[in-house]
Amino acid sequence: MAFRCWSLRLMMLWGVRGRRLHGTINASFFCVFPSCCSPFMAKRPSPKRKPNRGNASQQPVVDAPMRIIGGQLKNKRIEYSGDVRTRPMKERVREAVFNLIGPSIKGKLAIDLFAGTGALGLEAISRGAIGAHLIERHVPTSKLIRANAEALELVDQVTIYAHNSFIWVKKELPNLPRTPWAVFICPPYEFFVSRAEEMEKQIRTLIESAPPESVLIVEFDSQFDGANLPDAENWDVRVYSPAHVGVYRTAESD
């Protein structure tokens, strides 16, 4: 009953059609009504919400240029979308890797199973590799690899596969030429935990299939113990924190 009386008083003050009268309104006058029942109460502003940052993989991408470190294409630019799902090997680590491989990269076929920007394969060609097979499942990123190859005028030396690398190894490895390979295996670090069995099988298959005088390069972090690599005693493992890099060389040809 009290609620009805107050409603009638308000209708008289404001008018049935909501016509506002001159004068001031006491703020305490409104407190007797629930906000859901007041036909005239100004809508309260919604509280400001902090932006939902979500997972890192959902963050906006930004352009982030990279470069070829050595060889004929030294200092040439490589485009990188900045998408954190694509984790390029840091330049200092890439430089260290190619220092470990040394001049033996010349004449080899580069294979990058988690290619990302394509930087490793493109760097390998710059340093004397005869070509590169670049496997990148993320289609927009595989298109970026092609754009980089075109910009560097390496399209004829690069084959790009928008494909799952685990399936690619099973299907395509037997068809590759028997010239020595330089295989780069640099997946998301968590693959060595969440897909440990697949990674172990993939690396073992590569060791068993690679031609003589091939080299395999694996990048992982401290979540994985390099002692668990297949044929572990024959890996040369170096630490470039947070990256751990293992280098494996197959036997020389007779």
- Report which DSSP code applies to 16: T
Mean local confidence (pLDDT), 105-130: 97
pLDDT value at 175 more than 70: yes
C-alpha 115/C-alpha 125 separation (Å) is: 14
| Backbone φ/ψ region at 49: left (φ over 0), alpha (ψ -120 to 50), beta | beta
Confidence of residue 81 (pLDDT cuts 50, 70, 90): confident
pLDDT value at 55 more than 60: no
Mean pLDDT of the chain: 81
Confidence of residue 254 (pLDDT cuts 50, 70, 90): low
Confidence of residue 83 (pLDDT cuts 50, 70, 90): confident
Single pTM value for the model: 0.74
What is the edge-to-edge ordering of all strands in the sheet holding 109-112? 158-161, 131-135, 109-112, 181-185, 215-220, 243-249, 235-240
Beta pairing class for 215-220 and 181-185: parallel
Q: Which of 139, 143, 99, 148 shows the shortest CA–CA distance to 119?
A: 148
Mean local confidence (pLDDT), 94-114: 96
pLDDT value at 43 more than 80: no
Could you tell me where in the chain the CATH 3.40.50.150 domains are found? 63-249
Q: Would you mind telling me the total number of residues written for the chain in this entry? A: 254
Confidence of residue 53 (pLDDT cuts 50, 70, 90): very low
pLDDT tens across 188-234, in order?
A: 999 999 999 999 999 999 999 999 999 999 999 999 999 999 999 99
In sequence order, what are the residues at sequence separation of 6 or more whose Cβ sits closer than 8 angstroms to the Cβ of residue 245? 93, 96, 97, 100, 217, 218, 219, 237, 238, 239
pLDDT value at 179 more than 90: yes
C-alpha 210/C-alpha 138 separation (Å) is: 26
- Report which DSSP code applies to 247: E
Q: Domain 63-249 - what CATH class?
A: alpha beta
Q: What is the pLDDT of residue 183?
A: 99
Percent of the chain past pLDDT 70, that is, above it, reads 74
Question: Cβ–Cβ contacts within 10 Å for residue 80, how many?
Answer: 21
Q: What is the pLDDT of residue 252?
A: 86
Q: What is the pLDDT of residue 253?
A: 75
pLDDT value at 4 more than 90: no
